[in-house]
Amino acid sequence: MLTTEAILYYKDRPVEFVQDIIKAIPDENQSDILNRVAKNRMTSIRSGHGIGKSTALSWLIIWFMCTRPFPKIPCTAPTKHQLYDILWAEIAKWLNPTLRTEIEWTQEKLYMKAYPENWFAVPRTATLPDALQGFHADHLLYIIDEASRSKRCSI
Ligand X SMILES: Nc1ncnc2c1ncn2[C@@H]1O[C@H](COP(=O)(O)OP(=O)(O)O)[C@@H](O)[C@H]1O
Q: Which residues bind ligand X (CB under 6 A)?
A: 24-27, 30, 49-55, 86, 90
- Under the binding rule (CB under 5 A), the answer on residue 30 touching Mg ion is no
Q: For residues 50 and 134, which CB has a smaller minimum distance to ligand X in the complex?
A: 50
Binders of Mg ion among residues 52 to 81 (CB under 5 A) are 53-54
62 within 8 A of 141, measured Cβ to Cβ: no
Q: For residues 105 and 119, which CB has a smaller minimum distance to ligand X in the complex?
A: 105
Q: What would you report as the CA-atom Rg of the chain, rounded to the nearest whole angstrom?
A: 14
CA distance 101 to 63: 15
Q: How far is the CB of 28 from ligand X (least distance, A)?
A: 10
Beta strands in 16-154 (DSSP E): 42-45, 72-76, 103-105, 110-112, 120-123, 142-144, 151-154
Closest CA to 26 of 42, 40, 8, 13: 13
Q: How far is the CB of 114 from ligand X (least distance, A)?
A: 28
Q: Which option in Mg ion, ligand X, none does residue 129 bind, with CB closer than 5 to 8 A by kind?
A: none
Binding region for Mg ion (CB under 5 A): 53-54
